[in-house]
Structure 1
Amino acid sequence: MRWALLALLVAGCGRVEHPAATRGQPARPAIRETAQCEADLTRMGVSYRTLPDHDYGTGCGVFGAVQLIDIGVPVTGITALRCGEARAFASWTRNALAPAAYQMLGSEIARVEGMGSYACRNVVGSVRNADRRSGHAIANAVDFGGVVLKDGRRITVLNDWNSPDPQVRGFLQTVHVSACKRFGTVLSPDYNAAHRNHLHLEDDHAGFCR
């Protein structure tokens, strides 16, 4: 089937035994790294504004972060993002998510529904990692909830991950696989119940896709 072929084209998920999580004070991105990332966003035609660094203590903070203003596709529900995460999210949205919607569902995206980025909290849904800060605690993760299409349909992880419609189900499976090529940690409803309504997308080097 067509969606299966698309999934193969964007395959590349890494698998390890645990998701990324942070103990103690997280490392801050280098100034040069952030500057290069901001130059990349500008070259991509992404509109954004830089945010001041802020250490909130207890392992939480916003460093080298931006607020996305316009990435070419409307996005809701996302605030501060570490620049590398913003770059990965913008690239995934424009080069994987939007094309997959058009090719597999026959409609352009009216908006992407985010479910949060920065939040000073620990990992949820994992007893083993419950004492660790989430990637959200340093604005290094985005929760993707779904999309609203220009033809009026709303496709969500919560309602359509196991959809009886093979095209809809295949679309979500395909964008999940494509996310694994661009983010170090990707968690879906197949990981645990805490992710039943979203994909957790995190810019790290964990190589964990579930």
Structure 2
Amino acid sequence: MAISTILKPRMLVAVSAALALTGCFGAPEVMKRGDSQRPSANSTKMPPRPQLTGAPSFTSPEAQQCAVDLQQAGVRFTPLPNQDHGGGCSSIDSVKLLDVGTPVSGLGPMTCPLARNFAAWAQYAVKPAARKFLKSEVVKIETFGTYSCRNIYGGRSGRLSQHAYSNAIDVSGFVLADGRRITLTGGWKGDGASQDFLRALHKSACRRFGTVLGPEYNAAHHDHFHFDMSGNGFCR
């Protein structure tokens, strides 16, 4: 979506509303699509660091539009101040997700685009796939977290992970209404229904996130899906 560099008064009103806590889930088209905007194909380019800890956040048109998208989808969230965590790690235009329609464990700071795409994936991929393949409802999504100031797991480049920029999330499992717990560790090569469910989620994620890594990528990802907004459709 093209975004003007000058916000209209109506947009400013919408942004103000977006930066307040909101309620029930909606279903705008921007959240349903799996082809939302991604960063440029130059995946090695790192996000700019803030000059000051606590510098004002959500000042760019892109960040403000993202906040509006979350608000229009009924996603409850809290905007977080920009932070320089040291060691090259930072959180820019990040949010704390409070409610995406399904409880999610382990959530910390997430860049707004990551939060927007994750919320859409939870609503429009996870829920339908559980009904189709597992004949049950997902009542909880389990994660290993979001922000972590560290290098890439299993990599040899010594580069910081996208987790170091609050730009990645690791999803490890799903709890169902009937009591079952489907994990990447046991389900990726488990029974047929679990395999179909997890592979459908992996395929859907590849249409929503810049980079998707799963158990078949390397040993470091045997127990989780890694989603981040870098890259341009790298899916393994």
Q: Select the residue among 190, 200, 219 that pairs with 1:174.
A: 200
CA contact (8 A) 1:73 1:111 kept: yes
- The runs of at least 4 aligned residues of structure 1 exceeding 3 Å deviation read 19-22
Larger Rg: 2
Matches within 5 A, 1:78-157: 78-127=107-156, 129=157, 131-157=158-184
Q: 1:188 to 1:31 in 2, by over 3 A?
A: same
Percent identity between the two aligned chains: 44
> 1:44, CA displacement in angstroms?
0.4
Residue 27 (1) aligns with residue 56 (2)? no
Q: Which amino acid aligns with 1:182?
A: R
How many residue pairs get aligned? The number is 190
Kindly report the root-mean-square deviation, in angstroms, between the aligned alpha carbons of the 2 structures: 2.0
> 1:88, CA displacement in angstroms?
0.5
| Cα distance in 1 between the residues matched to 2:223 and 2:136 | 22
Q: Which amino acid aligns with 1:145?
A: S
Q: Select the residue among 218, 221, 228 that pairs with 1:195.
A: 221
Q: Which amino acid aligns with 1:37?
A: C
> 1:87, CA displacement in angstroms?
0.3
| Cα distance in 1 between the residues matched to 2:34 and 2:109 | 29
Matches within 5 A, 1:41-60: 41-60=70-89
More moved, 28-37 vs 79-88: 28-37
SS of the residue corresponding to residue 145 of structure 2 reads: coil
| Cα distance in 2 between the residues matched to 1:46 and 1:65 | 14
CA contact (8 A) 2:34 2:208 kept: no
Aligned position for 1:185: 211
C-alpha offsets along residues 96-143 of structure 1, whole Å, 9 cap, x if unaligned? 01110111100111100011100001101022x3x1010000000000
Structure-1-length-normalised TM-score: 0.85
CA contact (8 A) 1:26 1:59 kept: no
C-alpha offsets along residues 22-59 of structure 1, whole Å, 9 cap, x if unaligned? 6xx63368721111000000000000000010012322
